[in-house]
Chains A and B, each alone.
Chain A
Amino acid sequence: DSGVTQTPKHLITATGQRVTLRCSPRSGDLSVYWYQQSLDQGLQFLIQYYNGEERAKGNILERFSAQQFPDLHSELNLSSLELGDSALYFCASSVGTGVYGYTFGSGTRLTVV
């Protein structure tokens, strides 16, 4: 167990729908990073939050949004889902704003049908 908790583990939904993925970082970690992993694209960085504030954006679509709450858990919201959004979504956490000690959760597998 890495200490980073992601729920749910699996999610199946229809095109056009909206889903929310949840991540609780390791105790003491203030940064949360979201990644999308599809078969041919590897691990794509989506967005980073640090202590409640958005810190950096990667290749995140406008249909996707995220936030980090006062208790430091983070949610990734995916809307108007398309078949191509089917992927594994990982979050990772680290202590501060640096990348040392980056630890991944077990991921949420999203299937859009």
Chain B
Amino acid sequence: GENVEQHPSTLSVQEGDSAVIKCTYSDSASNYFPWYKQELGKRPQLIIDIRSNVGEKKDQRIAVTLNKTAKHFSLHITETQPEDSAVYFCAANTNQAGTALIFGKGTTLSVSS
């Protein structure tokens, strides 16, 4: 079936460094790619999203890039802070799942001060 692959599964950085998380998707009809942040014991929360007619989107320290030809998209966090520590999920919509989002398996980001 359609899926979303996410790498790496864990990422450790020093405070102030940048972090990059990458995802690939298989459904060429996918046109919406959100990123969610999930803190321990809490619900996933949308932090940024991108649609297929846009190549890059920024929101303060967070940016997402999309390469539709290669079917991959990435999350970039600059100047990381300890409060960025969480699990990050990428997702994509797929025709096979109706209008539901299919999620990657998540990246656990640890930012040490």
Contact = CB atoms under 8 A, between A and B. Distances in A.
Interface in B67-113: 89, 91, 93, 97-106
Interface residues of A, number: 26
A41 B102 CA distance: 12
Interface of A: 2, 31, 33, 35, 40-45, 48, 55-56, 58, 90, 94, 97-100, 102-107
Interface string B38-68: 0000111110010000000000000000000
Contact of A48 (B43, B46, B49, B98): B98
Given A104-B44, A104-B45, A45 B99 contact: no
19 contacts: A2-B43, A33-B100, A35-B103, A42-B106, A43-B91, A43-B106, A44-B103, A48-B98, A48-B99, A58-B102, A94-B99, A97-B99, A99-B32, A99-B34, A99-B93, A102-B46, A102-B101, A104-B36, A104-B43
A98 to B, nearest CB: 6
A40 to B, nearest CB: 8
A105 B104 CA distance: 19
A43 B100 contact: no
Contacts of A42: 89, 103-106
Contacts of B42: 106
B99 A55 contact: yes
A101 B34 CA distance: 10
A111 B36 CA distance: 25
Nearest to A34: B100
